[in-house]
């Protein structure tokens, strides 16, 4: 058995959670901040049999991988007009940092 510890962005956490539930994987979410990813993040712990590691990694990749996203310009109202960019810009969102840990023993009470 393995314990998959995945640090992902908050914005991807509900989608990942739904995807895991759909495939009957059980996950626990820990509130986490900073570090691996700039924005607010969430740490998932997912306990799986060895042959289920790859399917779970695929789900994490599909739902959380780093990608570009167009962000609408923000009006310079009350801000600095000199730095105003009047067209959408691409920013990187998402991303996942995943540790697969060996589990010596597993119990359910």
Residues in the chain: 109
CB 9 within 8 A of CB 91: no
Q: Which residues pair with 91 in a beta bridge?
A: 69
Which residues does 107 contact at the CB level (< 8 Å), separation at least 6?
A: none
Given the rule CB under 8 A, which residues bind a copy of itself? 1-3, 5, 7, 17, 26-36, 41, 43, 45, 47, 53, 57, 60-61, 64-66, 95-109
Q: Which is nearer to a copy of itself, 85 or 103 (CB)?
A: 103
Q: How far is CA 63 from CA 14, 56, 75, 86, in A?
A: 10, 11, 31, 30
19 or 48: whose CB is closer to Ni ion?
48
Q: Closest separation between CB of residue 78 and a copy of itself, Å?
A: 30
**Only segment of 1-9, 18-26, 30-38, 52-60 that touches Ni ion (CB under 5 A):** 1-9
In degrees and rounded to multiples of 5, residue 87 shows phi and psi of -135, 155
Which entry of a copy of itself, Ni ion, none binds 27, CB below 5 to 8 A by partner kind? a copy of itself
In whole angstroms, how close is the CB of 103 to Ni ion at the nearest point? 6
H-helix or E-strand spanning residue 7: strand 2-9
Residues that bind Ni ion (CB under 5 A): 1
């Amino acid at each position: 058995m393995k314990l998959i510890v995945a640090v992902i962005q908050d914005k991807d956490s509900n989608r990942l959670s739904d995807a895991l539930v759909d495939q009957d994987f059980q996950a626990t979410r820990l509130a986490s901040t900073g570090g691996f990813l700039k924005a607010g993040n969430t740490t998932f712990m997912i306990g799986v049999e060895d042959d289920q590691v790859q399917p779970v990694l695929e789900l994490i990749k599909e739902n959380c991988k780093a990608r570009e996203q167009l962000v609408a310009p923000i009006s310079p109202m009350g801000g600095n007009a000199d730095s105003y960019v009047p067209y959408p810009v691409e920013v990187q969102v998402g991303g996942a940092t995943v540790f697969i840990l060996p589990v010596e023993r597993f119990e359910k009470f």
